Amino acid sequence: IKNLEINADVKAEGRFGIILNRGVVGSEITINGDVESKLNRAVIHSAANAKLTLNGKTTSYSKETIALGKSDYFSYQAGGTLVINGPVVNNWNDIRGNAIVNYNGNLILNQEAGKILVTHPDAKAIYSPLMDKTIKIQGRIFANRDLGTLAPQEDTVSVSEVVNDADYTDTINSTSITFHSPINGSTALLVAAGMVAAINSSGLPVIATDNINGSYSVRGTLGGQNFIHVVSVNLSNVQKVLPGYNLLNEIAGGEIVISGALE
């Protein structure tokens, strides 16, 4: 289908959702009626450089009411642009009952009184789990889950080398914090605990947590702001979570443009 406009309501009672728009480059599809799916995603939109516009209410009773850029259960492709002008509701009381999931596309929310509602307390209203893509909010939106909570950076540092009578240094935003190991009996657990105590007494906008396994985590206290983090050769920075939106965009680097209001 190259170009299609549907002026009626669309309902699916079977296993699969409404739109599986696969591989049709440059197509434009508009649905002016309501979309409802009982057993799966209501909308799957995955055609590269294609535009899908939803003007009615979109409802599902299972995971992911709308999946943008998801080709099938195991693959993803460029999902083009999805414009949502109406409310989106997920009625499944399950943590997987998310409303809008942007896997690999450009999402535009242009609602002036639209609602994004999920049933389970831990389900997500909008999020982007895989790709650094643009989410534009151009209207006034109500959601029963937080859309704008910022996640701080979090690094996990392990003690890669245990040495007696040695300095271990963790440098955060150009401020060096050092723990000197004892002359005898040093262990990874002891060094990690010493680093945690030193970091937490430094006054820097971070909190260190002992993982009780020879590693420790350093988490920023300023939501959405990253920090420069360098460790000495006897330490290893093994994991990094950069700041991003917990629910709206979980991957750092994606762009969120808000010209309307969140309620």
Q: What is the pLDDT of residues 201-255, one digit of tens each?
A: 999 989 999 999 999 999 887 655 678 889 999 999 866 655 544 444 333 344 4
Q: Which residue carries 């209410």 as its tokens?
A: 57
- List, in order, residues 6 or more apart from 123 with CB less than 8 Å away: 90, 92, 94, 95, 96, 97, 98, 99, 145
Q: What phi and psi values does residue 193 have, to the nearest 5 degrees?
A: -65, -40
Q: What is the mean pLDDT of the chain?
A: 79
Q: What phi and psi values does residue 255 have, to the nearest 5 degrees?
A: -105, 135
Q: Best-predicted range by mean pLDDT among 95-109, 150-164, 208-222?
A: 208-222
The predicted-structure confidence for 159-204, as pLDDT tens digits, reads as follows 999 999 999 999 999 999 999 999 999 999 999 999 999 999 999 9
β-pairing verdict for 51-54 and 28-31: parallel
Q: Best-predicted range by mean pLDDT among 80-94, 114-128, 220-234, 248-262?
A: 80-94
Q: What is the dihedral sign for C-alpha 52, 83, 43, 55?
A: negative
pTM of the model: 0.58
Q: Are 216 and 192 in contact (CB under 8 A)?
A: yes
